[in-house]
Amino acid sequence: MPQLTLVQAINTALAQEMERDSRVVILGEDVGPNGGVFRVTEGLQARFGKDRVVDTPLDESGIMGSAIGLAIGGMRPIPEIQFEGFLGPAYDQLVNHAGRMRTRTRSAITVPMTVRVPVGGGIHAPELHSDSPEAIYTHSPGIKVVMPSTPYDAKGLLLSAIRDPDPVIFFEPKRVYRSFREEVPDEDYTIPIGEAKVVSEGDDITVVTWGGPVFQCLGALDNLPEDVSVELIDLRSIYPLDIETIVESVKKTGRCVVVHEAPKTAGMGAEISALIQENCFLHLEAPVQRCAGFDTIMPYYKLELEYLPETPRIQKAIEECLAY
Amino acid sequence: MPKKVVYEAKIEHLQILDEDGKLDQKLAKDTLTDEQVVYLYEQMSICRQYDEIAFKLQRSGRMGTYPQNKGQEANAVGAGLALEKGKDWLVPCYRENAALFMHGLPMHYVLLHWMGDERGNQIPEDCRMTPLSIPIGTHMLHATGIAWANKLRGDDSVVATFFGDGATSEGDFHGAMNFATVMQVPVVFYCQNNQWAISVPRESQMNSATVAQKAFAYDMPTIQIDGNDIFATYKATKDAAKRAREGGGPSFIEAVTYRLGDHTTADDARRYRDQAELDAWMGKDPLIRTRLYMEGKGLWSDKQQTELEERAKRIVDEVAKTALEIEAPSTSDFFNHMFAELPADLARQRDTMRTSSLGLDPDQVGLGARAQRV
């Protein structure tokens, strides 16, 4: 079984699905001969031709809007937005059109497309290349939002996303792109959208996270005393959210820390905390703790690790929640 | 080194039937047959009557805001006839009712839309169109994408998208034009330049002398036409569609027309528009000139006119009745088309929308959990 990075796993999934389904087309900035700025689409244009892997004009709204048209016209477009910060210009098309088309036409017209977007900080990138806007799109009805953190999950989730009859944003944590390899089967397999993964089982406290911070959380777990037993949940899908897995875990542990890179206020941590108090209030031994980015502009990279929930801060959050 | 000219351009204006009903025989060659002229006149008249009834429905509180098409009907019918029903795509704004009807959209759907009922957007399977688009200038990108899909799938259908002069100020208009030309897809950009974007006149909307010249930036074939002339609207669309179908890529049409009504029933154009300007355009009404032409050619009589008016009333009354009498949507209908398959939490919200303040299952808030714990 091949050992792949996240980048390679996504590339493999794209190639396999393009092979399987002639309706799949990739469009975006620099996705052709250059293979995308992160090389996620490397080699795909040479293999599938310029009609199916298309370098577009530099216009995110144009990419999103024409991808919507491609989907309406019977294709399965996979638009790539180069960095999450550039989703801004495409916001209107994505939220007000892709997300609403099925409802406003009572399912007569649908938009099956997968929007691939590198996301998050920690790679010393320039301004507007390090944000985590997943909550914005989760708050926008009609769009599914996923963010795998491992190569194995990335392949399975991407295949589910492409085959989904509705629009899916597939966030790819940049920090994980090449950080490690793992075994990724050659064969076709899917991971259902909406299913979280229990990374490590434990009884004392639940840690809920997704994307890049999964690995900062694992670092924090390593630093905790050996007798502390932590259940770490990687959501993988942000919308729909696997409430059951979270609730089941918190009912067992009575304590929960939610970790995410996005700003704290009105972030997914707020939603998850609310769901926990709605569903297992009387099981709680401590308030749900949020360990998130601050409510500031994501700083330039000299200070990005001060902003991001890094291992020491996560460790502190877990210790505080346990001590309550 | 002397300077040299690297780009030169000109724009033609096409008018075949003038406002007095006089036809340019040479230009009219191979355009509309007499039967087609009569047919288009009938379609325009029915659409005008549709506006009347829609206006009354709004004023009597039976329908929400409605934008009249009045004065611009020659565009919808000319373009509608030039495109192949059931094969070519229409990606409309909201002043092309007649084209949608000619391409098979049940007429009461548009009323349903303005009555606040999404079922009016539930395009039947045999109709190739997207629903009315309310936000300005966003849908032309969808037209480009649909045309792109046609090209990739080897389907020789053409896509026509309609929008106003104001829409050409939007970034997505330029994105749609740019993508369409770069990808050379079969789409016709049809601008109904009706001179007003709600209260802002064309000359405040853009500095360019014409809308048509905006296509030069994309090296797209472009023409300005008299948008109140059914011969011109038909011919320009037919030519553009032919070019697109034969692989010649996108085209641009600026149809100079005029919004004889208010922007919508919520608007009062007297606040910003001179009566003299309106009066001048009243004389250029496409219905008047088409009737003059037909009468001059012996194709139309007062008797036929009376019969048509009666028929239009009957048709539109029936349509209004259908729209008014449709059964109410089920209470939770707005949940059911969010996704192909409803996520569990959304299904829970739907199922408890009347029994819990936030749509949450009462079993899981408080009491259920307490019982479980105790």
Rounded-to-integer distance, Cα B14 and Cα A320, Å:
77
Contacts with B369 from chain A: Cβ below 8 Å: 279-283
Instruction: Using only the alpha carbons of chain B, give its radius of gyration.
Output: 24
Q: Is the ipTM of this complex over 0.85?
A: yes
Bridge-based pairing state of the strands B196-197 and A144-146: unpaired
Name every residue whose Cβ is closer than 8 Å to that of residue B1 and which is 6 or more positions away in sequence: none
Q: For all residues of chain B together, what is the average pLDDT?
A: 95
Question: Is B370 among the residues known to form the active site?
Answer: no
Beta strands in A91-229 (DSSP E): 114-119, 144-146, 168-173, 182-183, 197-200, 205-209
Amino acid residing at B371: A
In this predicted structure, the answer to whether residue B352 has a pLDDT above a threshold of 90 is no
CATH number of A197-323: 3.40.50.920
Residue B60, C-beta contacts closer than 8 angstroms, at least 6 positions apart: none
The sheet that has B13-14: what strands, in order across it? B13-14, B222-226, B251-256, B187-193, B159-164, B89-91
**Comma-separated ranges of CATH 3.40.50.920 domains in chain A:** 197-323
Whether residue B174 is predicted with pLDDT greater than 50 in this model: the reply is yes
Average pLDDT of the segment spanning B200-226: 97
pLDDT for the residue numbered A85: 95
Q: What is the pLDDT of residues A187-228, one digit of tens each?
A: 999 999 999 999 999 999 999 999 999 999 999 999 999 999
Residue B367, pLDDT above cutoff 60: no
At residue B369, the pLDDT reads 47
Q: How many beta carbons lie within 10 A of that of residue B109, not counting itself?
A: 24
CATH 3.40.50.970 for the A3-183 domain, yes or no: yes
A contacts of B175 (beta carbons < 8 Å): 57, 59, 61-62, 65-66
**pLDDT value, residue B351:** 87
The count of other CB atoms within 10 Å of the CB of residue A55 is 17
Q: Which residues belong to CATH 3.40.50.970 in chain A?
A: 3-183
> Distance, in angstroms, between A312 CA and closest chain B CA?
34
Residue among B313, B285, B290, B253 at smallest CA distance from B36: B290
Rounded to 5°, angle at Cα A212 from A208 and A216: 70
Q: Is B362 helix (H, G, I), strand (E, B) or coil?
A: helix
- Residue A170's nearest CA partner among A219, A237, A220 is A237
For residue B35, give both structure tokens. 């039967």
Delineate the domains of chain B, giving CATH numbers in brackets: 13-21+29-325 (3.40.50.970), 334-373 (no CATH)
User: Any residues with CB less than 8 A from the CB of B159 and at least 6 apart, and which?
Assistant: B88, B89, B90, B91, B143, B144, B146, B147, B150, B185, B186, B187, B188, B244
Q: Which helix (DSSP H) or strand (DSSP E) does residue A231 occupy?
A: strand A230-234
Nearest residue of chain A to residue B126 (CA atoms): A108
Q: What is the DSSP letter of B55?
A: H
Cα–Cα distance measured from residue B35 to residue A289, given in angstroms and rounded to the nearest whole number: 75
Phi, psi angles (nearest 5°) of residue A174: -55, -35
Which of B179, B364, B366 comes nearest A57 by C-beta? B179
For residue B374, name the pLDDT band (cuts at 50, 70, 90): very low
Q: How many CA atoms lie within 13 A of B126 on its CB side?
A: 7
> What is residue A200's three-state secondary structure?
strand
pLDDT of residue B254: 98
Residue A151: DSSP 8-state: H
Taking 50 as the pLDDT cut, the residues of chain A under it are none
Token pair 């191979």 is found at: B30
Structure tokens at A199: 């990374």
Rounded to whole angstroms, the Cα distance separating A175 from A84 reads 13
Phi, psi of A149 (to 5 degrees): -115, -5
From the CB of residue B373, how many other CB atoms can be counted at a distance below 10 Å?
A: 11
User: Do A103 and B145 make contact, defined as CB atoms within 8 angstroms?
Assistant: no
| pTM for this entry | 0.96
Q: How do residues B221-265 score in pLDDT, each as one tens digit?
A: 999 999 999 999 999 999 999 999 999 999 999 999 999 999 999
Q: Are strands A289-293 and A256-263 parallel, antiparallel or unpaired?
A: parallel
How confident is residue B372, by pLDDT bands cut at 50, 70 and 90?
low
Distance from CA of B357 to the nearest CA of A (A): 13
Substitution target from A50, A52, A106 for chain B, most B beta carbons within 10 A: A106
Structure-model confidence comparison of residues B337 and A278, the more confident one: B337
pLDDT in tens, B61-82: 999 999 999 999 999 999 999 9
**Partners of residue A67 in chain B, C-beta under 8 Å:** 145
> Residue B62: phi, psi to the nearest 5?
-95, 0
